Amino acid sequence: MPARRFFLTGCASGIGRHLAEVLLAAGHEVFATDLDEAGLRTHAAANPRAWPVERVHLRRLDVTQAGAWQLVFAEAERVMGRVDVLINIAGYLLPGFVGDFDPESVHRHLDVNTKGVIFGTHTAARHMLARGDGHIINIASLAALAPIPGISLYSASKYAVRGFSLAAAQELRPRGVAVSVVCPDAVQTPMLDLQVGYKEAALTFSGSRILSVADVADAIVHRVLPRRPLELHLPRSRALLARLADLFPGTALWLRPILERRGLARQRKLAKHRG
């Protein structure tokens, strides 16, 4: 794959950090952003071989602010000459049952997960449409395919990401700008670590295995970037189950107790291991 210029969000940890390193190792130029700029810079400074200063640019970006998107993305276009690919990775999750979460949690999920992706896609599209070329990749979740009790706000925000991305693809693809949405199952990141202590998040841990950040990065590099699919689900087996629950919501009523028991058992095992 020829060298390209990437704009990434959520690069201080998890998928964003690993993907930035994979792209840099392959010779690409990366504009890496995160709300936690200090954490991002500290990690990059501690790993200079993985974060070569001549090909990586580190900036603070609050994805919930449309104005910040416009300023930082315009800077990336100036610094790198253009942005070939935008990858929206930044996300937020706090488990909670419907009767328990507070209004701030509602705002935070929708502001970061949904509005952040919409603002980023809108901003990148304006630049990419002007030259008739580009690729926007939005990270959703398998929780965008099947409603997940206990993390209903996260699920709702990711449903919105998927719906928006598929609609945007129909508008932008005929004009040369591809939009892909990636829906992974649970991934081993700080966001997953946070959920171990919440019984509300039991279903998150109900799969046969937890994906690694390398699994997601590999899928993006080898499947999404070259093929530009409308959407990609990881892994396919869990995606089929999610599709079933989405098509026939009643199945979730009898599947949930089975999956919940499995998830709780894995949570206890993980908690014991961490202790």
pLDDT classification of 4: cutoffs 50, 70, 90: very high
Are the C-beta atoms of 268 and 207 separated by less than 8 Å?
Answer: no
Mean pLDDT for all residues in the chain: 96
Give the number of other CB atoms < 10 A from CB of residue 14. Answer: 21
Q: What is the pLDDT of residue 245?
A: 84
The domain limits of the chain are 5-237+247-274
CA 106, CA 153: separation in Å to the nearest integer? 7
Please report which confidence band the pLDDT of residue 107 belongs to, taking 50, 70 and 90 as the band edges: very high
Q: Which two tokens stand for residue 119?
A: 């603002």
The architecture CATH gives domain 5-237+247-274: 3-Layer(aba) Sandwich (3.40)
For 6, residues 6+ apart whose C-beta sits below 8 A from its C-beta are: 20, 23, 28, 29, 30, 31, 83, 84, 85, 86, 87
Residue 157's nearest CA partner among 63, 60, 261, 39 is 63
| Catalytic site positions | 154
pLDDT at 250 over 90: no
Q: Which two tokens stand for residue 271?
A: 């908690």
C-beta separation of 154 from 144 below 8 A:
no
Task: List pLDDT tens digits, range 5-32.
Answer: 999 999 999 999 999 999 999 999 999 9
Distance CA 154, CA 143 (A): 8
Under a CB-based contact definition with an 8 Å cutoff, are residues 157 and 109 in contact?
A: yes
Three state DSSP letters for the chain:
CCCCEEEECCCCCHHHHHHHHHHHHCCCEEEEEECCHHHHHHHHHHCCCCCCCCCEEEEECCCCCHHHHHHHHHHHHHHHCCCCEEEECCCCCCCECCCCCCHHHHHHHHHHHHHHHHHHHHHHHHHHHHHCCEEEEEECCHHHCCCCCCEHHHHHHHHHHHHHHHHHHHHHHHHCEEEEEEEECCECCHHHHHHCCCHHHHHHHCCCCCECHHHHHHHHHHHHHHHCCCEEEECHHHHHHHHHHHHCCCHHHHHHHHHHHHHHHHHHHHHHHHC
Q: What is the mean pLDDT of residues 255-274?
A: 91
Using 50, 70 and 90 to split pLDDT, how confident is the model at 86? Answer: very high
The CB-side HSE value for 139 (13 A sphere, CA atoms) comes to 25
Residues 157-215 have pLDDT tens digits of: 999 999 999 999 999 999 999 999 999 999 999 999 999 999 999 999 999 899 999 99
